[in-house]
Amino acid sequence: MFSCQRFQIGDKQLHRSGELFVIAEIGLAHEGSLGMAFSMVDAAASAGVDAVKFQTHLAEHEGTSREKFRVPVFPQDATRSDYWRRTAFTLDQWMKLAEHARSRGVLFMSSPFSSQAVQWLSQCEVPAWKLASGELTNYPMIEEMCQTGKPILLSSGMSSWQELDETIAFIEQNGGAYGVFQCTSSYPCPPRQWGLNVIDQMRERYDCPIGLSDHSGTVVPSLAAIARGATMFEVHMTFSKRQFGPDSKSSLTVDELAQLVGSARMLSLAMAHPVDKDLVASQSGELRALFTKSIVAARSLPQGHELARGDLAFKKPGDGISAKHFQTLVGKRLNRDVPADHLFAVDDIQE
């Protein structure tokens, strides 16, 4: 039904199943401090992520006076617009932040929440767009994104299947490339709401890269998502879960982020290289001889002796008659005298 099998972000080739793409969501955790934003980019880069992502809110272009706080935890901000203004950067500051990210070897991304923000971020040369789930019906802004020729990564936290289908169809009609993230808009997100099953459904429904945008504050769901075929994930990061802000408890610390990135890349590599069980077994001859058991004489036995179950013992190495064939020896007679611990061979046994 829908098809956008592959596209490139920076030097990363994103496929339905392929190279892993890791985004550290910094969002507004910088609290309006450009220095804090720079230091968070540095920390994310040290953790090994592919991209850092912020949020570009421009109060006068985004909301009205009726806009309410999601979480009213900001004592210095009387309104949501006050919050956007206090934490906002100028275009020049955004461009410096983008350049700093690139200097640290990570891609710079930011979710726009207005057409003006799209224009600003275009000047910052973002390599792709991350569309917040609340913006999936903002078709005018999506159309502008498509016109840039850059791929769009969609969060789906507040969207039904129909709404997601319609948005993807609109992107395809406008010639855009896209990937889709399973996302639950709950902060922090409990295990019962991770929606890992949705990743499977997305992979069946959309022929495009699939990811997880996680708000759990743990490393578990991202790793589970990769094991289910996701090739992208996004997690919030913080310097401390005690840090001020509505997303701190939903975030990973820098150490947790580094642990997740390392584990995720190992898991992704493993997922990309399925093992042929029979081939592995066929290549383990020396190990099989070391660790498996052969049939040996439990004690010294004379020529002509009729073997009973008690005459047989089972010991390493496994380069004799395998222990699994013990029943075929019971009742057979010996061609020769054998000492204790003798590994039985076919020519020891009378036909």
> What does the H/E/C string look like for the chain?
CEECCEEEECCEEEECCCCCEEEEEEECCCCCCHHHHHHHHHHHHHHCCCEEEEEECCHHHHCCCCCCCCCCCCCCCCCHHHHHHHHCCCHHHHHHHHHHHHHCCCEEEEEECCHHHHHHHHHCCCCCEEECHHHCCCHHHHHHHHHCCCCEEEECCCCCHHHHHHHHHHHHHCCCCEEEEEECCCCCCCHHHCCHHHHHHHHHHEECCEEEEECCCCCHHHHHHHHCCCCEEEEEEECCCCCCCCCHHHCEEHHHHHHHHHHHHHHHHHHCCCCCHHHHHHCCHHHHHHHCCEEEECCCECCCCECCHHHEEEECCCCCCEHHHHHHHCCCEECCCECCCCECCHHHECC
Which band of pLDDT confidence, cut at 50, 70 and 90, is reported for residue 70?
A: low
Judged by average pLDDT, the poorest of 64-73, 304-313, 337-346 is 64-73
Q: Are 131 and 155 in contact (CB under 8 A)?
A: yes
Is the domain of 257 the same as that of 295? no
Cα dist from 293 to 283, 314, 324, 345, whole Å: 18, 6, 9, 14
Q: Give yes or no: residues 285 and 164 share one domain.
A: no
Q: Which domain holds residue 343?
A: 277-348
287 and 267 within one domain: no
Give pLDDT tens digits for 155-170: 998 889 999 999 999 9
> At which of 255, 272, 289 does a domain end?
272
Please enumerate in sequence order all residues whose Cβ is within 8 A of that of 328, keeping only pairs 6 or more positions apart, or say none.
none
- Residues in Cβ contact with 230 at an 8 Å cutoff, skipping those fewer than 6 apart: 182, 199, 210, 211, 212
pTM of the model: 0.85
* Range of lowest pLDDT (69-83, 104-118, 183-197, 271-285): 69-83
Mean predicted confidence (pLDDT) in 65-81:
72
Residues 267 and 285 in one domain: no
Residue 64 has pLDDT above 70, yes or no: no
Mind listing the pLDDT tens digit for each residue in 178-202?
999 999 888 888 889 898 999 999 9
pLDDT band, very low/low/confident/very high, at 83 (cuts 50, 70, 90): confident
Domain boundary among 242, 272, 302: 272
Q: Do 47 and 259 touch, CB atoms closer than 8 A? A: no
Residue 1 lies in a domain: no
What is the CATH classification number for the domain harbouring 253?
3.20.20.70
Name the domain boundary from 240, 272, 304: 272
Evaluate whether residue 4 is within a structural domain.
no
The structure tokens listed for 32 are: 């309006």
Buried b vs exposed e over 249-260: b needs ≥16 C-beta within 10 Å? bbbbbbebbbeb
Q: Tell me how many domains the chain contains.
A: 2
Average pLDDT of the chain is 92
User: Does one domain contain both 107 and 173?
Assistant: yes
Q: Is the pLDDT of residue 1 over 60?
A: no
- 267/288 same-domain check: no
162: in domain: yes
Q: Is residue 5 part of a domain?
A: no
> Does any domain span residue 2?
no
Q: Angle formed by the axes of helices 254-271 and 220-227, to 10°?
A: 10
Which candidate, 338, 280, 264, places its Cα nearest to that of 305?
338
Q: What is the CATH number of the domain that holds 290?
A: 3.90.1210.10
In a domain, 304, yes or no: yes
199 and 107, same domain (yes or no): yes
Q: Is the pLDDT of residue 54 over 90?
A: yes
Task: Write the burial class of residue 310 (CB in 10 Å: 0-12 exposed, 13-18 middle, 19+ buried).
Answer: exposed
Q: In terms of DSSP bridges, do strands 6-9 and 12-15 run parallel, antiparallel, or are they unpaired? A: antiparallel
Asked whether the predicted pLDDT for residue 203 surpasses 60, the reply is yes
What percentage of residues in the chain have a pLDDT greater than 70?
Answer: 95
Q: Rounded to an integer, what distance in angstroms lies between the CA atom of residue 203 and that of residue 215?
A: 21
| Residue 187 confidence (pLDDT) | 82
Looking at the structure, do residues 203 and 291 belong to the same domain, yes or no? Answer: no
What does the pLDDT look like over 275-323, one tens digit per residue?
999 888 888 888 888 899 999 999 999 999 999 999 999 999 999 999 9
What's the confidence (pLDDT) of residue 19?
Answer: 83
Same domain, 284 and 252: no
Q: How confident is the model at residue 127 (pLDDT cuts 50, 70, 90)?
A: very high
Residue 156 in domain: yes
351 or 211, higher pLDDT: 211
Of residues 339 and 244, more confidently modeled: 339
- Provide the pLDDT for residue 13: 85
Q: Residue 295 forms beta bridges with which residues?
A: 314
Please indicate, yes or no, whether residues 173 and 296 belong to a single structural domain of this protein.
no
Residue 6 lies in a domain: no
Cβ pair 257, 46 in contact under 8 A? no
Tell me, yes or no, whether 224 and 103 share the same domain. Answer: yes
Same domain, 166 and 237: yes
Q: What is the pLDDT of residue 3?
A: 63
